[in-house]
Amino acid sequence: MGLFQAFDISASGMTAERFRMDTIAQNIANINTTRTEDGTPYRRKIVTFAEKTETPFSQYYETARARAVGNGVKVTSVKEDDETEMRMVYDPSHPDADENGYVTYPNVNTVTEMTNLIDATRAYEANTTAFDATKSMVQAALNVLGSVHVAAFTAANKIEQVVTQVYVALGTTIATYCAQNMGAGKVKRISRGFRATTIMGSMYSVVFGVLVFYFGNMLTGLFVSENLDQIVGLVDVYMKCVALFFVPLNVVNVYRNGIQGMGYGFLPMTAGIAELAGRGLTAVVASHYKSYLGICLASPVAWIFASALLLVMYFGIMNKYKKAGNFRE
């Protein structure tokens, strides 16, 4: 099984389990819904999975391997639970009560749904662990470049972390800001907060991007002491690669945390998966060609993928509030 297929299988598991969690959340949210669009009480939804088979395009590709390994999982259907009986509650004052005073409530049991939610959460975490394990295999493959390259990459990564702590602070700030204003219904103020944070982060990115691009390698001595002459040059390559992409990194931290602060948990998670996939795939290709430059570009590629996706999500959310007439101070 190739690394690309391992990524795809784990991602399919995460997608399927996330869909299952969304369905469970819908069941819990509608536990007291006595009237749907068709006039009947809400009925519990059940998600069914099946093994993901080959697509027509690739069905001729290594048939024997596919039989042994598989291609992941997919959601086959979402059906209503017709076996569990609906709950009957005596409440003559309820507008949906029948002629005998009984109200038909959904066949949703909170205990059952929470148990299924825990199971789905653990399955999702297991798929995430498998995804990370695959990424670790990529990291191990980078060792073929030699100890000097590994030491340089590690030192440069530490320098990057020191410089980019500002983005972490901006992300934490905008998350709290969005949560507070979301609770107050001040969506327009949230938009202004995003704009202000983006401008501040971009200004920092330009200034410190220039400093890191030209002088970042001077901090190498803080993290390594051996083979310094060889390592400094390699650190310089890494710092030049990341310094050019500090603006997308700022977008990732600000918009991922901000959107999450607004109450949208799934969207930032999707961007995180895109970031992880971008970094992992770039590292795989770079390792195959034994390219240190390619490995240094793994993080910038991930930032570009994630930032583009987050911006699309952000403007989509804001347009939704504008159309609903909820875009106010």
Q: Which of 173, 167, 299 is nearest to 239 (CA)?
A: 299
Q: Cβ–Cβ contacts within 10 Å for residue 62, how many?
A: 13
Query: What's the pLDDT band for 2 if we cut at 50, 70, 90?
Result: very low
Question: What residues pair up with 80 in beta bridges, in sequence order?
Answer: 45
Q: Which of 2, 3, 9, 1 is nearest to 52 (CA)?
A: 9
Do 167 and 254 contact (CB within 8 A), yes or no?
yes
Q: Report pLDDT for 61.
A: 38
Q: Report pLDDT for 32.
A: 85
Mean pLDDT of the chain: 80
Domain boundaries, the chain: 3-124, 146-323
Q: What is the pLDDT of residues 254-283, one digit of tens each?
A: 998 888 888 777 777 778 777 777 877 887
- If you write DSSP's letter for every residue of 211-277 in order, what string do you get? HHHHHGGGGGGGT--SSHHHHHHHHHHHHHHHHTTHHHHHHHHHHHHHHHHTT--HHHHHHHHHHHH
The region that residue 72 occupies, defined by phi over 0 for left and psi between -120 and 50 for alpha, beta otherwise, is left
CA distances from 176 to 106, 169, 173, 197, 251 (A): 36, 11, 5, 13, 17
Q: Report pLDDT for 40.
A: 86
94 pLDDT exceeds 70?
yes
10 pLDDT exceeds 70?
no
Q: What percent of the chain has pLDDT over 70?
A: 79
Kind of pairing between the strands at 73-80 and 45-51 = antiparallel
In whole angstroms, what is the distance from residue 242 CA to residue 268 CA?
Answer: 22
Q: Report pLDDT for 134.
A: 54
- If you write DSSP's letter for every residue of 243-257 in order, what string do you get? HTTHHHHHHHHHHHH
Rounded to 10°, the helix 165-183/147-163 angle is: 40
Q: Report pLDDT for 133.
A: 59
Q: Report pLDDT for 184.
A: 75
Helices (H) and strands (E) in the chain, counts: 11, 4
Q: What is the pLDDT of residues 133-192, one digit of tens each?
A: 555 655 655 566 778 888 888 888 889 989 998 998 898 888 888 888 877 778 889 999
Average pLDDT in the 212-218 region? 92
* Segment among 64-68, 135-139, 284-288, 296-300 with least mean pLDDT: 64-68
Average pLDDT in the 58-86 region? 59
Q: Report pLDDT for 74.
A: 61
What pTM value is reported for the model? 0.61
DSSP summary character for residue 142: G
Average pLDDT in the 198-213 region? 95
In whole angstroms, what is the distance from residue 49 CA to residue 71 CA?
Answer: 13
Q: What's the gap between Cα 36 and its chain centre?
A: 32
Query: What's the pLDDT band for 198 if we cut at 50, 70, 90?
Result: very high
Q: Report pLDDT for 51.
A: 61
Q: What is the pLDDT of residues 24-69, one digit of tens each?
A: 888 888 888 888 888 888 888 888 777 665 444 344 334 444 444 4
Q: Report pLDDT for 58.
A: 42
Higher pLDDT, 122 or 249: 249
Q: Report pLDDT for 56.
A: 44
71 pLDDT exceeds 60?
no
Q: Which of 1, 43, 227 is nearest to 130 (CA)?
A: 1
Q: Cβ–Cβ contacts within 10 Å for residue 195, how many?
A: 10
Do 190 and 182 contact (CB within 8 A), yes or no?
yes
Tokens 């069914």 sit at which residue? 48
Q: Report the range out of 133-137, 238-242, 284-288 with the highest average pLDDT.
A: 238-242
Q: Report pLDDT for 316.
A: 92
